[in-house]
Amino acid sequence: MIIANHYLRRGRTMAQLAYWVVFDGTRCGVLLFALPRLSARTAKFGSHSPMELLELARMWIDPSVQGRVVVSEDGRAHSLPIGSMSVSRALSRIRQDWHGKYPHLPEPRAVVAWSDTTLHEGTVYQASNFRLVGQSGGVGHRNRERPNGGRDQLRPDYLNLKDAYLMEYPSRLSDRQRALAFAEWALDRPRRRNRGQTVSVLAPVSQAVARFE
């Protein structure tokens, strides 16, 4: 769904976790969290190391549900901010789900997001308790070889400036939250066979539907 509908037309690699956005029983969007593409600490993200950060890497909400208006019992009309509501609900449990799926990785201490200044104003992040911490981007990355093999890909959007947002968690997960997450995600963690191959039980997104509705 992300590749088909998100303006970047590409997903992410490595560790990641996606949530469906469900409205009136229908899937109408996706939020994708992943490890950020950072190799070192950066001042705008404080003292957090890259492995202590999660990135809200992709967000797509069907335009048909954006700008919906609901009428309360007293007859007053209210806008329904599905984008910020979805992000807020995901932020409230992504740490626990992430620990359950990837217990060998450090616990996330904060979530980062980038807003392409040529396309967005970052309104959904500002409404979801993120704070603007600087800008990044504006680099073509050139078509150069990587030290560990392969080549950097040329992406037109790399040249765009992006506002950087940060949302920090005030405390760590409790021991109880860790234990519950570990048990809840037991079937969805990558499994290792005797010869070292890694296979995955592909259920996290469908499993998250029930949690996220």
Instruction: Dig out the tokens for 22 from the structure.
Output: 């469900």
Does the domain at residues 2-212 carry the CATH identifier 3.40.630.30? yes
Residues 6+ apart with CB under 8 A from 43: none
User: Between the CA of residue 198 and those of 19, 102, 150, 193, what are the distances in Å?
Assistant: 23, 14, 22, 7
pLDDT tens by residue, 27-37:
888 999 999 98
Nearest to 198, CA basis, from 62, 15, 6, 5: 15
Which residue is associated with the tokens 């809200």?
56
**Domain range annotation of the chain:** 2-212
pLDDT tens by residue, 143-188:
556 555 555 555 655 566 888 899 999 999 999 999 999 998 888 7
Residues 6+ apart with CB under 8 A from 210: none
Q: Taking the model in full, what pTM does it have? A: 0.75
Dihedral in degrees, nearest 10, Cα atoms 102, 205, 128, 4: 120
pLDDT tens by residue, 68-121:
777 888 888 877 788 888 999 999 999 999 999 999 999 999 999 988 777 677
Helices (H), 66-111: 82-91, 94-101
Q: In the chain, pLDDT over 90 holds for what percent of residues?
A: 30
